Structure 1
Amino acid sequence: MAHNKLSTYATDALTAARLEYAKRNAESERLQSEGASYMPGGNTRTILHVLPFPITFASGEGAKLTSVDGDTYLDFLGEYSAGIFGHSNEDIKAAVSAAMDKGWNFGGQCTYEKVLAKKVVERFYESGLELVRFTNSGTESNTMAIAAALNFTGRKKILVFTGGYHGGTLIFPSEYIQNPNVPNSNLPHDFVFAPYNNMAATQEVIDNLPAVSLAAILLEPLQGSGGCRAASPEFLRFLRKQATDLGALLIVDEVMASRLGPNGYCATAGIKADLISFGKYIGGGMTFGAFGGRRDVMALFDPSKSPVQHPGTYNNNIVTMSAGIAGLDIYDAAAVAALNARGRDMKIKLQEILIRNGLYPEHPAGASRKILEIDSLNGPTFVLSQDGISATDELLPKMFIAGEGSLLNVRFSGVDRASWQGLFYHHMLQRNIYLAARGYTPLHLALTDSDVDQYVAAVDEFVKLHREALLF
């Protein structure tokens, strides 16, 4: 295939795929157009916007979603981790129904919040959670954790990292860090930026701060929106020590990552956070967030002793509280282990496809060809995690798999990576597999081994179909 043909290959293929998609989803297009009369872009959730228009769903059951156009998809998105129980879990349905039979919107405390708080603290105590407060979303939980750090330390600066996402008002892609004046929805805190997973560069940033100015270090131990990049154990220990030495608070955003360990990610990594933020599945699939941590820090929110405010009409709503109680019983330590094992097995199968088709680079003799990790935002490196060997940046594969445990991401590199990502998304939709447009694939409990095999087969087909261009 000629060089000039390859240079536009993904763009041309994506254009054709979008045309086919539009033909298949006429009713979704009609509803999108109608919705644009009442919502900007016909959308109220940016992440769901895709070109030429998003699918609109009519129903969900188990691991499947049915669109208004009559197509049924295997759901490999799981509502970005919030839907870890699938679309029709009977235990959660029964718990919510029983709670609502007693009424809702009390405008007062309820018994469910007490039970859920106890379950959450006991579950994540080893990660540093001594007291907890509930919110409505992960965004709110991180907002309140930051407020706690500012009030507790009396300082203003917050260290955050490239590729970090901590909610709709705390987004730090590389382009924002390079130019914080680009239009954005971020809160106007005094942020300080450092590259993720880079101890030397982070140390340099910290060393250049004014003395006694850092209130908090905020990070995801596994960046969800940033491509399922996991922090190294060394990086986490480094940040824990830096926070302690500087008198700052270490805020660990486990909105997604808490699902990767029976007691949370921090406990699995062997560290304790000062504050932790939660969200997603802990609310049983309902609107949920939480933050908490050290008893002395959380005392700021004791209304009998402190003037610091944390209101919220729906913080203790009975739908979320009752669903969360049932959900934590379902997603217990055994379920965590099983889902992570399924994710590791799936990742190996996907990597073997890329190895078999020559998409992963050559690496030294004796290095494992099955345990591979990739970090592609901080001057990308290709890392063989089993023996620590790193290849140079230019060896980053055109297509690769990132992630840990039950959280996976199919990703692409190079100047045309956005076109490849879009092409992959439409390829999977054509095979009736639904996932995030960015290739994010968080597994959930309703999926079966057969479902995973169907996903792997679709990826294998994609690679074989586009192999020559992917090798270019």
Structure 2
Amino acid sequence: MASVLVQNVAAPAADSLPADASPSKVTLDGAIKWAKAAYTQRLPASKSQYESATRFLPGGNTRSVLFNDPFPIFMKRGQGNRLWDLDGHEYVDFVGELTAGLYGHSNPILKETIASTYENVGISFGASTTQEVALAQLICERFPSIEQLRFCNSGTEANLYALSIARVVTGKNKILAFKGGYHGGVLSFGHGIAKNTVDRDDWVLGTYNDVEEVTKLIASTPGLAAVIVEAMQGAGGCIPATVEFLEAIQATAKKCGVLVILDEVMTSRLHPHGLQGKYSLDPDLTTLGKYIGGGLAFGAFGGKSEHLAVYDPRRASSVAHSGTFNNNTLAMSCGAVGLSQIYTPDVSQQHNELGDYFRTSLQTVAEGTKMVVTGIGAVLTIHFLENGLAPVREADLDEQTVSGLKTLFWHWCLSRSFWITERGMLSIILGTTREELDGFVETARLFVAEYRHLLAI
């Protein structure tokens, strides 16, 4: 693991250690207490910065998922697949900006594209550009069900616009989503319908991977305009859908005049042609976001031309679609370069095969314990479940998750120079080496060995 710099982490002061700090008999609460004490001692600059941030930002934060107790780590800079925090610690980045950071922090091709676009093209035209046409063509050629598309600025926006198309086309309002699903900041179903979810009265929630139930719901729900689904629930724990489940949605929806919206905001990077290509799906609408903007803010919604015509301004009955930065030259240019020169179909195939190797290696380490690893390709989640069984739906996580073990593992990885999310989601950045992946696997193996008494099923 020569390329992975493991920090020599000083232990906290003796009086801060729990009384039961011996690894062989430490309780989970005791281990977490010790880990938080070490964390606080190791990160004084982040702690100070957080205290300053709380003066101007509620909770010192402007993105809820990035908050950690007792305070979040503040990063100073990134290079390649590495990050450095304010206290000078270096990390291998396995967060990958929750799948959006596929290209890393300093891709030279993207750097040149940004500079040349700024210098030779310009930004913020308030006009149509050739860059948007080039990116649109690449996306339509890459993802088989997308005949036409329009751009926006995030995956959240993309899903909102896709829902609007479904409602206009069908003349209905109800939308079927699934427990554990996440389709954006105001479209969250991780624990039922979130408080800030838009159109709260129009949602119907089904059980992910339940073929019998979804078939009945689509056929029997009055006023149903669309089903929105991820082929792998990303924020919901990287739980893959079964092909049978996805095919049942598609077939039943078609019979009932209901549109299918496939949310590929996260999953489009998991196969050269998205998971729709991997599983031979043909959704009516597809939503995209994250990495496709080359690291800049990006979203897109597309699908069958007959449905996208809703937003064709040449039609008297068209629906308005605006957005100051929808076609901004920087994101359009970086997106086109990313798909055509960096994340080509061949690279996508190789990258996700490497992810499969990584996930399989972790599953081997976790075998027979409460640690469970799920995912597809280069995006995965490490769970800690009482029964040690791979989850297939949200209820499995709600009923079985040992949240304290997730927190303990997060601290363990950070102290050993691996940047991951506390909820356990990992997203591999391009250029991450097999040696770095093996280094993480070894770190997980040591965790299992150290806390086997806590991980026993």
Q: Same fold by TM (over 0.5)? A: yes
1:241 and 1:426, CA in 2 relative to 1: closer, same or farther beyond 3 A? same
- Tell me which of 362, 365, 389 is aligned to 1:353: 365
Deviations 1:424-467 (A, max 9, x none): 11110000100111110111212111110111111011100101
Deviations 1:370-394 (A, max 9, x none): xxxxxxxxxxxxxxxxxxxxxxxxx
The equivalent residue for 1:155 is 172
Contact 1:171 1:186 in 2 (8 A): no
- Displacement of 1:7 in angstroms is 11
Contact 1:214 1:246 in 2 (8 A): no
1:103 corresponds to 2:122: yes
The equivalent residue for 1:142 is 159
Contact 2:219 2:256 in 1 (8 A): no
- Displacement of 1:406 in angstroms is 1.1
The equivalent residue for 1:59 is 77
| In 2: Cα distance, 1:58 partner to 1:464 partner | 33
The equivalent residue for 2:9 is none
The equivalent residue for 1:13 is 31
1:317 corresponds to 2:328: yes
Give the counterpart letter for 1:252 in structure 2.
Answer: L
Give the counterpart letter for 1:413 in structure 2.
Answer: L
The equivalent residue for 1:440 is 425
1:270 corresponds to 2:289: no
1:429 corresponds to 2:414: yes
The equivalent residue for 1:335 is 347
Contact 2:24 2:450 in 1 (8 A): no
1:91 and 1:226, CA in 2 relative to 1: closer, same or farther beyond 3 A? same
1:402 corresponds to 2:374: yes
1:7 and 1:301, CA in 2 relative to 1: closer, same or farther beyond 3 A? farther
- Aligned with 1:164: secondary structure? coil
Deviations 1:31-56 (A, max 9, x none): 11111111100100011011111111
Percentage of identical aligned residues: 38
Alignment of 1:31-50 (within 5 A): 31-50=49-68
| In 1: Cα distance, 2:199 partner to 2:64 partner | 17
The equivalent residue for 1:75 is 93
- Displacement of 1:8 in angstroms is 8.7
Per the normalisation by structure 1, the TM-score is 0.86
- Displacement of 1:6 in angstroms is 11
The equivalent residue for 2:14 is none
| In 2: Cα distance, 1:448 partner to 1:189 partner | 47
| In 2: Cα distance, 1:286 partner to 1:153 partner | 33
| In 1: Cα distance, 2:219 partner to 2:256 partner | 11
- Displacement of 1:354 in angstroms is 2.0
The equivalent residue for 2:8 is none
- Displacement of 1:261 in angstroms is 1.4
Structure 2 gap segments, 5+ residues each: 1-19, 387-399
| In 1: Cα distance, 2:28 partner to 2:294 partner | 39
- Displacement of 1:307 in angstroms is 3.0
| In 1: Cα distance, 2:26 partner to 2:323 partner | 50
1:28 corresponds to 2:46: yes
| In 1: Cα distance, 2:197 partner to 2:255 partner | 32
Give the counterpart letter for 1:146 in structure 2.
Answer: L
Deviant stretches of 4+, over 6 Å: 5-8
The equivalent residue for 1:172 is 189
- Tell me which of 134, 139, 144 is aligned to 1:115: 134
| In 2: Cα distance, 1:70 partner to 1:466 partner | 29
| In 1: Cα distance, 2:40 partner to 2:450 partner | 22
- Aligned with 2:448: secondary structure? helix
Give the counterpart letter for 1:275 in structure 2.
Answer: L
Structure 1 gap segments, 5+ residues each: 360-397
- Tell me which of 414, 435, 450 is aligned to 1:465: 450
- Aligned with 2:451: secondary structure? helix
The equivalent residue for 2:213 is 201
- Displacement of 1:9 in angstroms is 2.4
- Displacement of 1:417 in angstroms is 1.1
- Displacement of 1:327 in angstroms is 0.7
1:99 and 1:185, CA in 2 relative to 1: closer, same or farther beyond 3 A? same
- Displacement of 1:420 in angstroms is 0.8
| In 2: Cα distance, 1:354 partner to 1:209 partner | 42
The equivalent residue for 1:362 is none
Provide the aligned length of Structure 1 versus Structure 2: 420
- Aligned with 1:464: secondary structure? helix
| In 2: Cα distance, 1:274 partner to 1:207 partner | 18
- Displacement of 1:204 in angstroms is 3.3
The equivalent residue for 1:308 is 319
Contact 1:222 1:257 in 2 (8 A): yes
- Displacement of 1:27 in angstroms is 0.8
| In 2: Cα distance, 1:151 partner to 1:85 partner | 36
| In 2: Cα distance, 1:409 partner to 1:304 partner | 45
Give the counterpart letter for 2:99 in structure 1.
Answer: S
1:282 and 1:51, CA in 2 relative to 1: closer, same or farther beyond 3 A? same
- Displacement of 1:208 in angstroms is 3.9
Per the normalisation by structure 2, the TM-score is 0.89
Contact 2:371 2:382 in 1 (8 A): yes
| In 1: Cα distance, 2:61 partner to 2:181 partner | 24
Contact 2:218 2:253 in 1 (8 A): no
Contact 1:135 1:288 in 2 (8 A): yes
Q: CA RMSD in A?
A: 1.8
